[in-house]
């Protein structure tokens, strides 16, 4: 999809991969709906973009609450009058082996990583259908294709998201709504620090391969080329 002047809704826009993706899409001429919980950070970012002549709106929302996600989509459509792309980028990990995994933490990240993305898709799809098409980009992880001790619950949420994406891609093809899954690998953000659970288990993990800017470039390439799946080494 050509990105110039398109309305792009992105979750987790205040930091890490999401923030880098905001800047990448802004440089490509997108109009941006910035979603995360930190209202101050988002307002500051929206002002910064507006000062550069880029249309942007800050929408504070907790993506683990489907009603807040629906409101965020509605605010986007109200503000810009349309919606072309949603990027379900927000995500959190829980660290813990299956034997002693905290089930409340598992439930929490499932609600955020899976149900949050589905809620955004469910709110965006009717709008995209009315407009004759659109693009849904779900940010998964290469971990969803592996089994790494201590990361089973996180990998399971991303594997569930992959399956939702694959199914929705078929279901929405006749509506001209494309669904793309992006698979980042280890990336230098605060993601590890923000993980729920036993952080000491992560100490030995290998150093990140990618910067958030490298991932953001791949997400933009995916939006332009519309493959089913986008990996970092493609």
Ligand X SMILES: NC(=O)c1ccc[n+]([C@@H]2O[C@H](COP(=O)([O-])OP(=O)(O)OC[C@H]3O[C@@H](n4cnc5c(N)ncnc54)[C@H](OP(=O)(O)O)[C@@H]3O)[C@@H](O)[C@H]2O)c1
The site for ligand X (CB under 6 A) is made up of: 11-18, 36-38, 41, 62-64, 89-92, 112, 139, 141, 184, 186-187, 189-191, 194
Q: Could you tell me the smallest distance in angstroms from the CB atom of residue 28 to ligand X?
A: 19
Q: How far is CA 88 from CA 39, 50, 85, 151, 157, in A?
A: 18, 23, 10, 21, 13
Residues sharing a CB contact under 8 Å with residue 9, sequence separation 6 or more, in sequence order: 33, 35, 72, 73, 76, 83, 85, 86, 87, 120, 124
DSSP string, 189-201: SSHHHH-EE-GGG
Considering beta carbons, is residue 89 or 165 the nearer one to ligand X? 89
Q: Could you tell me the smallest distance in angstroms from the CB atom of residue 151 to ligand X?
A: 11
Considering beta carbons, is residue 131 or 211 the nearer one to ligand X? 211
Considering beta carbons, is residue 129 or 142 the nearer one to ligand X? 142
Q: Could you tell me the smallest distance in angstroms from the CB atom of residue 209 to ligand X?
A: 9
Catalytic residue among 154, 156, 161, 218: 154
Q: Could you tell me the smallest distance in angstroms from the CB atom of residue 80 to ligand X?
A: 20
Q: How far apart are CA 7 and CA 26, in angstroms?
A: 10
**Residue indicated by tokens 């965020």:** 72
Q: Catalytic annotation on 231?
A: no
Considering beta carbons, is residue 134 or 212 the nearer one to ligand X? 212
Q: How far apart are CA 94 and CA 100, in angstroms?
A: 12
**Residues identified as active-site:** 154
């Amino acid at each position: 999809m050509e990105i110039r002047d398109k309305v792009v809704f992105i979750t987790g826009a205040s930091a890490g991969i999401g923030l880098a993706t905001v800047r990448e899409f802004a440089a490509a001429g997108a109009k941006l709906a910035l979603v995360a919980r930190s209202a101050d950070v988002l307002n500051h970012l929206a002002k910064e973009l507006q000062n550069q002549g880029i249309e942007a709106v800050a929408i504070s929302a907790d993506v683990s609450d489907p009603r807040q996600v629906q409101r965020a989509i509605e605010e986007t459509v109200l503000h810009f009058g349309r919606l072309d792309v949603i990027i379900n980028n927000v995500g959190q990990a829980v660290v813990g082996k299956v034997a002693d995994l905290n089930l409340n933490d598992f439930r929490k990240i499932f609600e955020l990583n899976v149900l949050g993305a589905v809620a955004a898709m469910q709110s965006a799809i009717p709008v995209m259908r009315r407009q004759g098409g659109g693009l849904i980009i779900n940010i998964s992880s290469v971990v969803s294709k592996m089994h790494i001790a201590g990361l089973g619950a996180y990998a399971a949420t991303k594997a569930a998201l992959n399956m939702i994406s694959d199914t929705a891609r078929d279901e929405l093809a006749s509506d001209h709504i494309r669904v793309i899954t992006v698979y980042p690998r280890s990336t230098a953000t605060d993601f590890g620090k923000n993980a729920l659970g036993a952080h000491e288990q992560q100490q030995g993990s290998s150093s990140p391969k990618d910067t958030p800017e490298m991932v953001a470039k791949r997400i933009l390439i995916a939006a332009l080329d519309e493959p089913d799946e986008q990996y970092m080494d493609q």
